[in-house]
Amino acid sequence: MALNADTRYSNTATRVDAAEIDAGLRKYMLGVYNYMASGLLVSAIVALLVSSSPAAMQTIFGSGLAYVVMFAPLGIILIMSFAQSKLSTGAVQGLYWLLVATMGVSFSTIFLVYGLGDIVRVFFITAAAFAGLSLYGYTTKRNLSGMGSFLVMGLIGLIIASIVNIFLVSSMMQFVISVLGVLIFAGLTAFDTQRIKSTYIAYRMEGDIATRSAVMDAMGLYLNFVNMFMFMLHLFGGGDD
C-alpha cells in the first residue's frame, strides 16, 4: 500500500509540474510573439511615415545617413547578441525598439518600388506562412536541431550570392536567391520556434532573465519574418523594374 501511495503521489506531482511548465511556456511564448508583433507594427508605422514624407526620404537616402540606416541594424544585432548578459533588461528592450525602428526606415524604400496593395498582400501571405511554420515548430515531435547547421550554411551562401549579384545584376540569379531565401527563412522559423520552446523547458527562466531572453527570441523571429517577407515580395510583389 505504501508503494501504491508513493506512486500516486509521484504521478500527481509529475502532472502538477508538467502543468506548471506548460503554463509558464505558454506565457513565455506569448511574450515572445507580443514583442515580435509589436516590432513589426513599429517597423510598419515608421516605414509608412518616412515614405510619405519626400523631405525625410531626401534627407535620409540622399545623404550619408543612408549608410547609417543600412549598417545600424547589423551593429545593434551584434551588440544584443554578444553583450546581452552585460546589458540591463531596459537596455536590451531599448535596443530592440531601436532595431525595429531603424529597420522601418530602411523598409520605407519598398514603397518606391511596390504598390501598397502588393505590399499588403504579400505581408498577409508571409504572416500566414510564418504562423503555420511556427506552429509546426512548436507542435512537432520531430527533432529539428539537425536542420540548424544546414540552414546556417545556406544562409551564409545566400549572403555571398546576394553580394555577388550586386555586381552581376542578374534577374535569374535574383529569382533563385529569392526562392532559396524563402525556403531558408521558412526553415529557420520552424527551427527557432522549437529551439525557443526547448530552451524554456530546459531552463524555465524567470524575472529579468526571462524578459531579456524573450526579447532576444522575438528578435530572431522578427528577422526571420522580415527576411521571408522581403524575399516573397521580390517573387510576388511585381514591382517596377
> In this model, does residue 8 exceed pLDDT 60?
no
| Cβ-contact 45, 104 below 8 angstroms | yes
182, amino acid identity: V
Q: What percent of the chain has pLDDT over 90?
A: 75
C-alpha cell at 98: 531601436
More confident residue, 32 or 64: 32
Cβ proximity of 196 and 150 under 8 Å: no
pLDDT band at 75 (very low <50, low <70, confident <90, very high): very high
Mean pLDDT of the chain: 90
C-alpha cell at 39: 516590432
* Number of neighbours of residue 113 by Cβ within 10 angstroms: 15
User: CA torsion angle for 52, 69, 229, 47 (degrees, to 10)?
Assistant: -20
Buried b (16+ CB within 10 A) or exposed e, 161-189: beeebeeeeeeeebeebbebbbebbbbbb
Residues 33-53 pLDDT 10s: 999 999 999 999 999 999 999
Per-residue pLDDT reduced to its tens digit, 82-116: 998 899 999 999 999 999 999 999 999 999 999 99
Q: Which residue, chain included where needed, has cell 504572416?
A: 127
